[in-house]
Amino acid sequence: MAGKYGSASAGFLVDGYNLITAKLKALSYKIEALHDDTTGLGDSTQNSTPTGLTALTLTQAGGFFDTNTNAAHAALKDVPTSPQGTPRVICAWFAGSDVSAPFVGFAANYSHEYEVLSSVGELTKANAAYTVSGLCEQGQIVQPLAAQTIDWNTDTLNTVVDYTLDTAQRVIPITSNSIANPTVVTTTVPHGLTSGDLVLIAGVSTSSPTINGQQTATVTSATTFTVPVNVTIGGTGGTIVRANSANGGSGYQQITAFSGFTGFVGKIRDSPDDSVYADLVTFANVTSAPSAERVTVTGTVDRYLSFDGNVTGSGSITAFAGFSRS
């Protein structure tokens, strides 16, 4: 995602608590794959083996003291004295919180350090460091953290997620497409597709008719596939990206504020064409905040994603949602 980002572009939610302070002096973020030392007696070199866990360390320094409900101080003032036995639902982002922006989701163990700084003649500040270890998933924001007072749907608001624009996507170069019905598309590297996958083709020149646009792929080899177009003049160049994914994924929802309503049900929905949407993830009914949930799904996830928020009664709610494709 192109652009420059600062502390105001970051967010960090743990079980419905918003842990990013309003005014930051400094912010650092580190993510690493954890290894265990497996060096044995007599080994001539040091060995380490991946544990399968990922650790996130987020540090914010000198943020002004924040005593808002469900914000940093409320969550951090009581440091746990024993290990966290129940994995926390955690969402973090560092490149803004617009729809489609990248986020990281965790279902993980969590601990923190919290230091309040108070000096004569200065505002009260606090340093905080958070350490997370466990399952880590990269995804896209479907519903930015925002307050709502009535039912809403990002589809009707024209703020949907398009998987083909995901900057984490692998872009595969095309060598050519043949004169044939169906035309054979050749890639410069293995494409990794499975027959039936939807792909978005762009930038192919001279092909008549064009094969640019969303197509259904039928795999014929590691570097070739066909699309159902009767081509009479072959094409060259271009790229493909996936337009859907086949292995399910995980939906994340965080509720940081809730008042007045008697219930709230959030849904992530998907569509192959940004026209007809179907429910993909349905989160449990929420009756209070803070609240957070991670829900997994299997099977095909279509190209477009939207968020549908359904409230009961009158009031206000502040919600966030994201989805990570497996």
Judge if 174 and 207 occupy the same domain.
yes
Tell which wins on pLDDT, 282 or 69: 282
Per-residue pLDDT tens over the stretch 216-272: 999 999 999 999 999 999 999 999 999 999 999 999 999 999 999 999 999 999 999
Range of the domain at 154: 147-162+246-325
| Domain co-membership, 70 together with 135 | yes
CATH code where residue 298 lies: 2.60.120
Q: How far does CA 199 lie from the centroid of its chain?
A: 20
Give this prediction's pTM: 0.84
- Determine the average pLDDT of the residues in 188-198: 96
- 74 pLDDT band (50/70/90 cuts)? low
Same domain as 113, residue 53:
yes
13-71 pLDDT, tens digit per residue, is: 888 988 776 666 666 667 777 788 888 888 888 888 887 777 777 676 656 555 555 55
Q: Do 271 and 156 lie in a common domain?
A: yes
Picking from 194, 215, 242, the residue at the C-terminal end of a domain is: 242
Tell me, yes or no, whether 31 and 179 share the same domain: no
One domain, residues 87 and 120:
yes
Q: Is residue 30 domain-shared with residue 108, that is, in the same domain?
A: yes
Flag whether 134 is in a domain: yes
Q: Are residues 291 and 191 in the same domain?
A: no
Are 292 and 157 members of one domain? yes
Is residue 279 one of the residues assigned to a domain?
yes
Q: Given pLDDT bands bounded at 50, 70 and 90, which one contains residue 72?
A: low
Co-location of 123 and 139 in the same domain: yes
Among 200, 221, 242, give the residue marking a domain's end.
Answer: 242
Decide if 186 is inside a domain. Answer: yes
- Which of 242, 266, 300 is the last residue before a domain boundary? 242
Residues 23 and 121 in one domain: yes
92 plus 63 within the same structural domain: yes
Let me know if residue 270 belongs to a domain.
Answer: yes
Tally of structural domains, the chain? 3
* pLDDT tens column, 138-191: 999 999 999 999 999 999 999 999 999 998 899 999 999 999 999 999 999 999
The CATH number that applies at residue 111 is 2.40.30
* Tokens encoding 247: 């292995």
Would residue 272 count as lying in a domain? yes
